[in-house]
């Protein structure tokens, strides 16, 4: 009976490793696809960023609210618990942007920008992302470091 138990354990263990093998690894991350829900982002606040967060030099934390263009869109969200309020605008991989970069982009409290709420359709990336469609963020790093 002892040998049968060891063989069963070995087969079960190999099966678990096979289930967590390369097919599982390839599923982490992209490629991911999203559905885009058009709307507007309103800048609610721009404050000095807390030192314990991922920051550019002289960083600010920008909070915003997203409002979908279609007033009924919220009823059809795939992630209704993912709030459109009190969101944080970040650049790069989740960094608070540089104060002068924000000023140069004309980002101010009360400003509204065209944007999308992006909800994941496939892949294992972040379920909901917000994207400014009228602000180019590709040049943030020039002022970041």
Please give the average pLDDT of every successive group of 10 residues along the chain, which has 145 residues. 39 36 46 96 98 96 98 95 96 94 96 97 93 91 88
Dist CA 3 CA 24 (whole Å): 31
Q: How many domains does the chain have?
A: 2
Q: What is the pLDDT of residue 29?
A: 64
Q: According to the model, what pLDDT value does residue 28 have? A: 56
pLDDT score for 145: 85
Quick one: 129 and 76 in the same domain?
Answer: yes
Alpha-carbon 76 to chain mean position: 20
Q: Give φ, ψ of 24 to 5 degrees.
A: -70, -40
Q: What is the pLDDT of residue 6?
A: 36
**Per-residue confidence (pLDDT) for residue 130, from 0 to 100:** 95
Q: Which domain holds residue 104?
A: 31-144
Same domain assignment for residues 10 and 79 = no
Q: What pLDDT score does 7 carry?
A: 34
Instruction: Specify the long-range contacts of residues 64-70, CB closer than 8 Å, at least 24 apart.
Output: 64/88, 64/89, 64/130, 65/41, 66/39, 66/40, 66/41, 66/115, 66/117, 66/130, 67/39, 67/40, 67/41, 67/42, 68/37, 68/38, 68/39, 68/117, 69/38, 69/39, 69/40, 70/37, 70/38
Same domain membership, residue 137 and residue 109: yes
Give pLDDT, residue 12.
Answer: 34
Residues 57 and 123 in one domain: yes
């Amino acid at each position: 009976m002892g040998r049968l138990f060891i063989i069963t354990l070995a087969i079960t263990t190999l099966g678990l490793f096979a289930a967590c093998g390369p097919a599982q690894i390839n599923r982490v991350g992209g490629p991911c696809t999203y559905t885009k829900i058009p709307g507007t982002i309103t800048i609610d606040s721009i404050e000095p960023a807390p030192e314990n967060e991922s920051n550019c030099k002289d960083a600010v934390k920008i909070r915003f609210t997203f409002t979908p263009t279609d007033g009924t869109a919220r009823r059809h969200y795939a992630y209704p618990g993912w709030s459109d309020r009190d969101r944080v605008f970040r650049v790069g991989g989740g960094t608070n942007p540089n104060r002068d970069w924000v000023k140069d982009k004309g980002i101010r409290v009360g400003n509204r920008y065209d944007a999308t709420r992006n909800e994941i359709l496939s892949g294992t990336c972040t379920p909901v992302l917000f994207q400014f469609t009228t602000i180019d963020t590709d040049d943030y790093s020039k002022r970041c470091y």
